[in-house]
Amino acid sequence: MQLLTCQTTADLLRRARHVLIGGHIRPDGDCLGAMAALGLGLRAHGIEASMIMPEPIPHRYQFLAPHFTPASPPGTPDLLIVLDTSDRPHIALPADVLACGAPLLVIDHHVAGAHQADLLWCDPSYGAAACMVYDLLGALQCDLSAPIAEALYTGILTDTGCFTYPNADERIFALALRLVQQGLDTARIARDVYQCVSLAATRLLGATLNTLQCHDHNRIAIMHVSCAMLRETGAVPADTEDLINVARAIDSVLVAALVTEQNDGHVRLSLRSKDRRVNVGQLARQLGGGGHVCASGATLHEPLGTVLARLPALLHNFLQASFSPACTNA
């Protein structure tokens, strides 16, 4: 595996003629925004680029959907690019595309274990993959068109929790300012992403709140979504994306968990905290997942009931360790 920087990644892309761009399963705003911005920027640079997302684009990001195709176009690419993940099982590219023989370049801002890529530019100091794409397009001397600015803003807006997470640093706000100066309609993007919720998703919110359990003097909040709940409300998996933030917003809560049952019987565990000492990214990595200090997740190969039974003790012990002298003095 070859480790790259922003500049060496730009040098690599200058030599490309045909690239395919992918992201991760269950795509969020940062994944889709970074993919769209990079692909549009490469096209403006004279490079043939296709942004591939085999999964349905979530309703809230439909304004980005015209940039994507569900399948790869004919021809063999020079390069495969995956954004916002390096974990092969989570890459949302068809198996035949990953096996086409083209080198795989991963551009990621998550801390993880062994990256499965031929070429890697990984920098956890970036608050979002969209920020990495912005710097990359700058190194390529690509102009910021309105669609590129819209895609980049979507990425940083969603991955910073509307600029409320600790990753909303000085660089994030400086980038937001530059995008706004391009004439970006930030109110319209916020409305599309956060204020166009379907009736089914609202019913799912109500059902999920009914599962809320608090533990450890209300410092831990746990909710779950079962496959039956999705069927009964008519919601889709993408409608679960922001549910965990309702539990996280409870004033006493330090760590929130949402357990979502998958069709295969396994579960997706989403974790959030609002105290940097409570590093849920570290816990997620221990469980085989990954993410950020205050937002992370993992897939657990256990039934929903088993996970719910052991989760309170797991989170209690995690909180105890987070505030132990060894951790607080580290």
Element of type H or E holding 310? helix 304-322
6 close to 135: Cβ distance less than 8 angstroms: yes
What is the token pair recorded at 301? 């190969």
Return the axis-axis angle of helices 146-159 and 170-180, rounded to nearest 10°: 150
> What number is the average pLDDT over the span 73-97?
90
**Enclosing domain of residue 320:** 201-328
What is the token pair recorded at 271? 């974790």
Domain end: 194, 212, 233, which one?
A: 194
Output phi, psi for 181, to 5 deg.
-65, -15
Domain shared by 43 and 11, yes or no = yes
CA distance 222 to 224: 7
Quote the pLDDT of residue 329. 45
Quote the pLDDT of residue 325. 62
Domain shared by 215 and 178, yes or no = no
- CB proximity list for 309: less than 8 A, separation 6 or greater: none
Where do the H-state alpha helices sit in 15-94? 29-44
Per the prediction, the chain carries an average pLDDT of 93
Domain shared by 310 and 245, yes or no = yes
Best mean pLDDT range from 34-43, 67-76, 318-327: 34-43
CA distance 38 to 153: 13
What CATH number corresponds to the domain at position 182? 3.90.1640.10
Domain shared by 243 and 183, yes or no = no
What is the token pair recorded at 37? 């911005």
Domain shared by 86 and 218, yes or no = no
182 close to 216: Cβ distance less than 8 angstroms: no
Domain end: 162, 194, 226, which one?
A: 194
Judged by average pLDDT, the poorest of 75-84, 85-94, 180-189, 236-245 is: 85-94
CA nearest to 296, candidates 172, 171, 159:
159
CA distance 91 to 35: 13
Domain shared by 23 and 80, yes or no = yes
Q: What total number of domains does the chain contain?
A: 2
CA distances to 16, 82, 184, 301 from 23, in Å: 19, 5, 24, 23
CA nearest to 151, candidates 31, 22, 15:
31
Domain shared by 97 and 231, yes or no = no
CA distance 279 to 263: 29
Output phi, psi for 3, to 5 deg.
-90, 135
Domain shared by 12 and 87, yes or no = yes
CA distance 73 to 288: 33
Domain end: 194, 221, 243, which one?
A: 194
- CB proximity list for 290: less than 8 A, separation 6 or greater: 87, 110, 111, 112, 113, 281, 284, 296, 297, 298
**pLDDT at 22 exceeding the cut of 80:** yes
Domain shared by 237 and 96, yes or no = no
What CATH number corresponds to the domain at position 243? 3.10.310.30
Domain shared by 161 and 12, yes or no = yes
Domain shared by 102 and 118, yes or no = yes
Confidence bin at 76 (pLDDT 50/70/90): confident
Give all strands of the β-sheet with 295-300 in edge-to-edge order.
213-215, 220-225, 255-261, 267-273, 295-300, 290-291
Q: b/e map of 155-177 (b: 16 or more CB within 10 Å)?
A: bbbbbbbeeebbbbeebbeebbe
CA distance 109 to 131: 9
Domain shared by 109 and 138, yes or no = yes
Quote the pLDDT of residue 326. 53
CB atoms within 10 A of CB 242: 18
For residue range 169-199, list pLDDT tens digits in order: 999 999 999 999 999 999 999 999 999 899 9
